[in-house]
Structure 1
């Protein structure tokens, strides 16, 4: 088969379409013939040499894909060749085929095309596991989402609104602010023009920035509030006011999805299938796709994501 290979750490030009060995399903795995793969910021870090795959995982980038089941290994439950699926991956999505544990595979939701469903697994699992399983956002509470115009942000807005929460987002520029409001956000703040910490109060914060926003995130939390840190675009080290943390009885969660054990990912995927997929099928939550780029032009897709001009997801299609 062919796949995108990172020839060396560097810029988008190091992504090359090469012939590589076909994957074979180990016990508990199935092979998907890939229709499309979603881009994630972790892919950019991997390309740059900063975020290598976990041990034993394919060196091919790609943390989510969609397609058709072509092979099934021993001990696979609930899937058969010919099924249209999408999947959460630890790597390998930028390829013609990928092997994945069956626990991390989802049926394509009703009403969504197979290609478009590649935009869902990573964002759905990230938002469900952090906002709802980890931070326990409840109906009537307020969620603050940073990076509201990105793939995770556009999904978090829709899901939290569908489940009865008030949603505030930060986003960069009027186009992204307008799109977040159109998706259902109750308030959208252009961080280039306004400091969110001056006006926002939240029960849960979903943060992709990290160190740069730590103090402000803590300051906007209500008593008993929860901060879920899932990205480090603004750095990895910051001072923490423990007095404020304890006074507010707040909780800070720091998580990564990629290197979790299969059993943990499987529990998240089951939660998504049971709680999120019905909302997608019913139209309350939809994938937001900025553009679809041929997989052989993955470098161009990376340049687009690095520019920050996209809204929602960028996909690679075969």
Structure 2
């Protein structure tokens, strides 16, 4: 019931180019341009203006998005109200997306609870980077996103989404078996300023976390190798090619001989994990059940997160 062109306009605002917005919305760039031109004509206002190789929203377009957010949130609430008139068990489809660690350590347990408590509910999980997860939420391609809070995700003040913190997870130092830190109770991150580091592809959430943690400790990490999979990173660390930061919940392959050492001296690196839904949707029965299951799983993980590395 909400003009889908508003979602396309929202994607343009987020990604700054028609081409990137088209990819997110699964349209061609020409289709996006056509939709924006048609919407502009219908409303009688200019919505986009070119800036270099990209575009930016006009004041009229931003005003339109503000109204669109209100309408979208109200429609989600209407769906929740209508669900109250349907009797019987929770049913339908509930779609999750999550970053790698949560997709392994959190969401499958939540799905197991949901399958037991709501057998009529169809469940789906998609592993994704945090910023992409918000694109999926906006496009109604997912219902609950479990993501790491990074600078690349929408702020809490973004009225298109509702966000809640699930847990804060320490990042431990990962070293090889011959590293001088092995056997210590903890380390200060600043002690590793001169070490080669194993990072991930720039722009990914893990890369942002490592750079932020090291910068907060007073140095820029010297990234010697890039690895997007824990298997690759652990293999490099085990053989002395560098050190890395690893989240407390991340499961590392046993075949690589690595050691975890907690970071004890401030600033202790942590990552905040949040759940996000479309504004107004959290009271819909399936989404409410999914959020409750995720909260229960995260509460049960608190001992693991607070314990030694």
TM range (shorter): under 0.3
Q: TM-score, normalised by structure 2?
A: 0.21
Higher helix share: 2
Higher relative contact order at CA 8 Å, sep ≥6: structure 1 or structure 2? 2
